[in-house]
Amino acid sequence: MIRFGIVGFGLHGVRRLMPGFALAKQCRVTALQRRDIHKARASAAEYGIPHAFDSVAELCTSREVDAVLVTSPDSLHLPDTLTAISHGKPVLCEKPMALNAAECRQMVEAARAANLLLGVAHVFRFEESTRWFREQIALGTIGRPVYARSEFCYLAQGSKRQWLTNPALATGGPMADIGIHCMDALRFVLQDEVVRVTAHAVSDERSGAVEASGTMTLEFAGGTLGTVIVSTRADYRTPLEVVGELSVLQADDAFTVEHPIELRLRQGEKTTLAKTITNFDAYARQVDTFAAAMRGEAEFPALGIEGWRNQEILDAAYRSTKSGRTEEVAQVNVGS
């Protein structure tokens, strides 16, 4: 049983991580860290977690912690990850991996030098929906993918994650928060890399220095065009669609873990295949797979290098919003 310590325990830990660990079979949470020790102890008591800390270093030093799950604000991902690695602990880091690709590189190189596992919590890679899309595309069911679309919207008003509009803490607005999930999902299902990106973003009085909505057009090496549309000003929706030369794959709420999803294969106006699945155990699969990878029993499909690759795309997208031009995406090789 792999024992996790959660750094930066907050809303995400409450809503997603603890329910996931409750379903996990190969790991459990034995420690958490919050900046306020009183809040840390209260959270630990509420969820039956044995150890509470206000120091990241102390959590990472604990003999009751085998692996560290970093869920702190984006600007802390680099120092928190490096702290864990310096104490010999494998790290599963939330997305976006860091503030920029240069920080991601530091994290990957530090983990490699220490011979420690570093993963990024791109949970869509552990969902049944994205797995089905990936399998159907690989089988050639839809022919050559021509166009792929991923959207993610949610209403941010009243969110407890107020740091998301603070550029000192957040990598960006929804392009970084959820757009990076969408671009990773497209990379994963297409099994292809993005070479160029064109992006546009808009802000408003509530989003401050970060964007409230954004669009990204992704040019894949294999010729597929992808679009990612994100916003924190619209009701929750996560549609995914891949259009091929022969047919189309569709799901209205592809990434949700809240309710069953209908996956569809369409030819023209006709649905030729419909399948209902659920992603309810995606967070459990993510941590169980990381635990198995630590024991050498499985490969973790979202290694740190994948987070770095996604960050190169995101960095290029933000450059594009400022330049008004299509920007090249720096390619990260396995040996980088």
CA–CA distance, 209 with 215 (Å, rounded to integer): 17
Q: What is the pLDDT of residue 164?
A: 82
Helices marked H in 233-281: none
Which backbone phi and psi does 74 adopt, to 5 degrees?
A: -50, -40
Structure confidence by residue, pLDDT tens digits, 243-259: 999 999 999 999 999 99
**Of the candidates 205, 43, 182, 59, the residue with the CA atom closest to the CA atom of residue 122:** 182
For the chain, what percent of residues have pLDDT higher than 70? Answer: 98
Structure confidence by residue, pLDDT tens digits, 57-99: 999 999 999 999 999 999 999 999 999 999 999 999 999 999 9
Q: Say whether both 152 and 85 belong to one domain.
A: no
Q: What is the pLDDT of residue 157?
A: 74
Residue 30 parent element (H or E): strand 27-33
CA–CA distance, 40 with 26 (Å, rounded to integer): 24
| CATH classification of the domain holding 7 | 3.40.50.720
CA–CA distance, 195 with 215 (Å, rounded to integer): 16
User: pLDDT at residue 206 above 90?
Assistant: no
Q: Say whether both 96 and 185 belong to one domain.
A: no
User: pLDDT at residue 237 above 60?
Assistant: yes
Q: What is the pLDDT of residue 336?
A: 46
| CATH classification of the domain holding 189 | 3.30.360.10
What mean pLDDT, rounded, does the chain reach? 96
List, in sequence order, every residue forming a beta bridge with 119; answer none if it has no partner: 92, 303
Q: Is residue 42 part of a domain?
A: yes
Domain extent for 232: 127-279+311-328
Structure confidence by residue, pLDDT tens digits, 281-291: 999 999 999 99
CB atoms within 10 A of CB 26: 17
Q: What is the pLDDT of residue 335?
A: 58
User: pLDDT at residue 41 above 90?
Assistant: yes
Q: Say whether both 97 and 171 belong to one domain.
A: no
User: pLDDT at residue 302 above 80?
Assistant: yes
User: pLDDT at residue 308 above 90?
Assistant: yes
Cα angle 334, 226, 93; round to 5: 45
Q: Say whether both 272 and 167 belong to one domain.
A: yes
Number of domains forming the structure of the chain: 2
Q: Say whether both 54 and 84 belong to one domain.
A: yes
- 149 in Cβ contact with 226 (< 8 Å): yes
User: pLDDT at residue 138 above 90?
Assistant: yes
**Of the candidates 147, 129, 143, 207, the residue with the CA atom closest to the CA atom of residue 175:** 207
Q: Say whether both 174 and 238 belong to one domain.
A: yes
What is the rounded average pLDDT of the residues 302-330? 98
Q: Say whether both 27 and 94 belong to one domain.
A: yes
Structure confidence by residue, pLDDT tens digits, 147-188: 999 999 999 876 767 778 888 999 999 999 999 999 999 999
User: pLDDT at residue 269 above 90?
Assistant: no
Q: Say whether both 237 and 260 belong to one domain.
A: yes
Q: Scanning the structure block, which residue is given the tokens 């791109």? A: 122
Q: Is residue 335 part of a domain?
A: no
